Amino acid sequence: MTSHLAQGLQRPRSIIPGLLQASIRGFPVSNPCYGARRARQYTAASEQETPQGRYWAKIPRWKDSSVDTFLSHKWQMSNSVHTLPGLSDLMRSVLPEMIPPQRPPLRGQNEYPGVSTPDDFIRSFEVAAQMAPMAFRLSPHILSVIDWTDPLNDPVRRQFIPLESVINVAHPAATFDPVQEVDHSPVRGVIHRYPNKALFMATSICPVYCRFCFRSYSVGTETKSVKKMRFLPLMKQWEPRFEYIERTPSLHDIVISGGDTYLLEPEQIAYLGDRLLKIPHIKRFRIATKGLWVSPSRLIDPNDSWIDTVIGLSKKGRKMGKDVCVHTHINNKQETSWITRQGTQRLYEEGVTVRNQSVLLNGVNNTFDQMSELVHTLSDMHVEPGDVIRGAEDLRTPLSDSHELEHQIRDQTAGFLIPRFVYDVPGPAGKRPTLSAQNYDRKLGVADFTAPRLRGHDVKYWDPLWSLAEDAQKEVQSYFADRSSDQASYQMASAG
């Protein structure tokens, strides 16, 4: 065992790996009280002017759905697919007779051996779905932007529909709560990891469920591998969280999250926002949602007022000298459509600030071309590493990917568009630039991160096992086996 790993053995609290994430700040978005006539003007023009047009028509069950139907948020939610048989049936209707192979094989490895027909693909999905920590729920929009002619290589499919993969082997350092949120929850539903910022868990449901969600301990319905800590969107359950925020004057910044605020009713969003704006020491809050990208119809649905409520809170906050922003999440340009562009334009025209955070994902955005497209699509992007989740190792990236991407992008675009790659260090340390990693051992895939609030205890980032040579994989696994044995012996001696 190397001395670098041996040092880690003395600090078991630091053994938490991470995924790579991204944030896009200041991406201008907007939204108004346009009304039905203006929204329909947007729609008609777009259908004629954009090559995508009725992009959902490639899904047989929706080929006759009109633009007005597809723009309905209620229709999107009621037609979302969230059962294994339902998704299997849909895939049978869209998969080609022969599935194109993975190209090029991932670092020389074929992830999906034996998958060449629709039956192979669906069988692989059904096996993987049984083991996944996240339930699945997919909106018509997301299902329509997947390239079903090449599903093994599609970056959107990869994020939401698991397949049995030879590289999806859990790292021994993996955990369902990788940034230690539960350990920093003074009140149920409040995560307080930073001195002046806290997270308000408003709900546990989302319009879609991401395979790589670092909040798999809470988000979505229960699975065979995870019993969830649920947060229901009920005002009586929110009250203790507001009381904690009100009696903690050091807090200035609140993130309303979950789950996803996109599925809250407009009245609930208004209530949350008004309560926070009335607290004197709260200077800003963020409405966190992935909805802009995974179900954008709600942004221009003439019969829905969610976005008008957000705009109203933004304007009210400005008059009070407080910031009300939308924080969202997209990982690949392919997730967007003309509906997305119209929705974000609405927000921009109304002066709503929108920032994006993405996750650096293997096979989704960890190449120069993919990341460059995303940067230029969204503009002013900051990339932040996320954290390892059991069951999603095939999506995680080695630390070296972020270093190489930053090096490649730096001389290819304007300075304000250059992404900043960071690692969200578990516990109170916060986000640290990945370039600040110390003692990075590329052979064993482990690096140290430090921060003042860690008080001398470094935190380790572990690269996914699939990125290591076979002898290095065995060495890492042996290290963790030895550590588990030592801890068990210590606990037995203490009990005796």
- Report the DSSP beta bridge partners of residue 425: 430
How far apart are the C-alpha atoms of 53 and 354, rounded to whole Å?
26
How far apart are the C-alpha atoms of 146 and 151, rounded to whole Å?
7
Q: Which of 425, 421, 416 is nearest to 451 (CA)?
A: 425
How far apart are the C-alpha atoms of 91 and 163, rounded to whole Å?
13
Distances (CA, A) of 134 to 53, 183, 288, 397, 433: 32, 21, 19, 19, 28
Nearest-5° angle of CA 167, CA 169, CA 171? 125
Q: Long-range contacts for 191-196 (Cβ within 8 Å, ≥24 apart)?
A: 192/248, 192/251, 193/427, 193/428, 193/430, 194/428, 194/430, 195/250, 196/250, 196/251, 196/252, 196/253
Q: Which of 15, 18, 5, 23 is nearest to 401 (CA)?
A: 18
Please state which of the ranges 212-221, 228-237, 332-341, 355-364 shows the lowest mean pLDDT. 212-221
Checking if the pLDDT of 343 tops 70, the result is yes
Mean pLDDT along residues 51-72:
91
Checking if the pLDDT of 248 tops 50, the result is yes
Match 């094989």 to its residue by tokens. Answer: 105
Higher pLDDT, 109 or 93: 93
pTM of the model: 0.81
Q: Which of 270, 284, 289, 188 is nearest to 236 (CA)?
A: 188
Pairing of strands 422-425, 430-433: antiparallel
Higher pLDDT, 213 or 123: 123
Mean pLDDT along residues 373-401:
64
pLDDT reported for residue 180: 64
pLDDT reported for residue 39: 44
pLDDT reported for residue 26: 34
SS3 8: helix
Q: From the DSSP assignment, how many helices (H) and strands (E) are in the chain?
A: 16, 13
pLDDT reported for residue 160: 93
pLDDT tier, 107 (very low <50, low <70, confident <90, very high otherwise):
low
pLDDT reported for residue 389: 40
All residues at 6 or more sequence positions from 327 whose CB lies less than 8 Å from its CB, including other chains: 255, 286, 287, 288, 289, 354, 355, 356, 357
Please state which of the ranges 217-221, 281-285, 413-417, 452-456 shows the lowest mean pLDDT. 217-221
How far apart are the C-alpha atoms of 393 and 391, rounded to whole Å?
6
Checking if the pLDDT of 305 tops 90, the result is yes
SS3 225: coil
Distances (CA, A) of 403 to 29, 122, 437: 30, 36, 10
All residues at 6 or more sequence positions from 211 whose CB lies less than 8 Å from its CB, including other chains: 132, 134, 159, 160, 161, 162, 391, 392, 395
Helix H, strand E, coil C: the string for 121-175 is HHHHHHHHHHHCCCCCCECHHHHHHCCCCCCCCCHHHHHHCCCCCCCCCCCCCCC
Higher pLDDT, 412 or 380: 412
Q: Which of 444, 456, 491, 493 is nearest to 173 (CA)?
A: 444
Positive or negative, the CA dihedral 97, 103, 105, 111 is: negative
Checking if the pLDDT of 359 tops 60, the result is yes
Encode pLDDT of 432-485 as tens digits: 888 888 999 999 999 999 888 777 778 888 999 989 999 999 999 998 887 765
Token code pair at residue 200 = 């308000």
Residue 454 backbone zone (phi > 0: left; psi -120 to 50: alpha; other: beta): alpha
Encode pLDDT of 118-157 as tens digits: 999 999 999 988 877 677 889 999 999 999 999 999 999 9
Q: Are 371 and 365 in contact (CB under 8 A)?
A: yes
pLDDT tier, 381 (very low <50, low <70, confident <90, very high otherwise):
very low
pLDDT reported for residue 234: 76
Mean pLDDT over the full length of the chain: 80
Higher pLDDT, 38 or 396: 396
How far apart are the C-alpha atoms of 440 and 436, rounded to whole Å?
10
pLDDT reported for residue 41: 47
Match 């990982």 to its residue by tokens. Answer: 331
CA 134 to chain centre: 12
Positive or negative, the CA dihedral 62, 66, 67, 71 is: negative
pLDDT reported for residue 204: 82
Distances (CA, A) of 214 to 21, 158, 332, 354, 368: 11, 16, 18, 22, 25
- The pair phi, psi for residue 377, each rounded to 5°, is -70, -45
pLDDT tier, 308 (very low <50, low <70, confident <90, very high otherwise):
very high
Encode pLDDT of 84-100 as tens digits: 999 999 999 999 999 99
Checking if the pLDDT of 488 tops 60, the result is no
DSSP code of residue 467:
G
Encode pLDDT of 9-58 as tens digits: 222 222 233 444 443 333 333 333 334 334 444 444 444 444 468 999 99
Mean pLDDT along residues 178-199:
82
User: Which range in 174-178, 235-239, 321-325, 446-450 is most confidently predicted, on average pLDDT?
Assistant: 321-325
